């Protein structure tokens, strides 16, 4: 399995922190080695961004990488049952993050 890279601003903002949470969940679920690369908007891949190996995960809504986007980026490496379980984990991670953000 490839490494997952999060491209983040320093300090991380909203989407950056969500992507970091997704990376942690992916690392726990799949053993993906997750790393964070801090940079500014002038980087070749500006933050916020997620990459699997060297492949950018593009947000299907043009704004936020969703659990479905992440699962789709891994569809060539995982079976349907694994992908369904992964989507549930990532949706739970996103829901928890959204609740925490709304209380902040």
pLDDT digits (tens, 9 = 90+) for 22-73: 999 999 999 888 999 999 989 999 999 999 988 999 999 999 999 999 999 9
User: How many other C-beta atoms are found inside a 10 Å radius of the C-beta of residue 55?
Assistant: 10
Q: What's the confidence (pLDDT) of residue 1?
A: 56
User: How many other C-beta atoms are found inside a 10 Å radius of the C-beta of residue 23?
Assistant: 22
Rg (CA), the chain: 13
Residues 46/15, Cβ–Cβ less than 8 Å: no
Residues recorded for the chain: 104
Please tell me whether the overall predicted TM-score, pTM, comes out greater than 0.85 for this model.
Answer: yes
Domain assignments of the chain as residue spans, ordered by start: 4-103
Nearest one of 6, 60, 58 to 32, comparing CA atoms? 6
Mean residue pLDDT of the chain comes to: 93
Average pLDDT, integer, range 86-102: 96
């Amino acid at each position: 399995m490839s490494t997952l890279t999060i491209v983040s601003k320093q300090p991380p903002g909203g989407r950056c922190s969500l992507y970091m949470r997704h990376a942690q969940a992916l690392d726990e679920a799949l053993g993906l080695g997750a790393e964070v690369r801090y940079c500014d908007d002038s980087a070749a891949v500006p933050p916020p961004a997620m990459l699997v190996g060297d492949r950018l995960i593009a947000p299907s809504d043009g704004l936020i990488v969703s659990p479905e986007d992440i699962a789709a980026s891994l569809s060539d490496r995982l079976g349907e049952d694994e992908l369904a379980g992964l989507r549930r984990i990532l949706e739970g991670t996103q829901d928890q993050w959204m609740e925490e953000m709304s209380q902040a």
